[in-house]
Structure 1
């Protein structure tokens, strides 16, 4: 059933490209902290190499993944077929956050279509790829992307988004400082 690979194969990359949604999992080292699992939509994921991926992270109500990556780097991305043949694919790796205005941002940002509310790019160095059957995942039909988050971000404007990041995205729910929090703390 399940298979493990040291890197993404072309068929893995093709499977990932067909998915309209993926999930990001991360957790603090402390067994007392919260495990975070976030769904991601829109065309925000890019394969950088057989052992590298990145996604454009849009402003959200929290910033748990960033805090966890700052603390320990552990991250998992999960993709699952809800149309066509069943399969679940996970990318396990270490990740880090790239913020606007940095040299790394200037190198990575041209790979993405910039969407309103883009706050950071999450880069993953993949050390293991696992596939499993996905036989219990139900069928769903893709109807399109929700425009709500982008409309909200456009309404906020740059100053409003910065204020929102300062209020909601600096510290995780477990009290860990995020990458944005480190930058805002030095301003």
Structure 2
């Protein structure tokens, strides 16, 4: 069930996000469970209330009878698990970083920025990675914050100062001025 749901959410995530935002006049990221299930059903994503309760418990997307649609989309679109947790015989799409990195606290604003850039990064991640590699002359797996921003803007990911700060706060928690581009790209790959 979860695999089927993941495929449907990946197909319709923008529509889900738009409809949820319409149902959320306060823009606090929460709507009623009934409204959320109606939105899913309007997109032909069928789910029983019991199945939804199971997912809500597993992913912690409910609080006070409301659904956090940001958390829902985050769990089905973004891969923010550490890179080491892959299957035994599965080939890695991206290598592990040479220098250890630590990720910061994931904020709602950071998730929104990542969701907004999701399609563009997923569609051309290999070319983006090549540009990161060009900027990474020493092959450490990380680039300076300035190079990171330059590569993103080259591909049309134009971020405001605030949005860029949220991304950097997550991917460069220690404020070293370096961002591991493989960690960044793997957040968008499933």
Q: Which protein has the bigger helix share? A: 2
Same fold, judged at TM 0.5 (above):
no
The normalised TM-score by structure 2 is 0.28
Over alpha carbons, which structure has the higher Rg?
2
Higher relative contact order structure (alpha carbons within 8 Å, sequence separation ≥ 6): 1
The normalised TM-score by structure 1 is 0.28
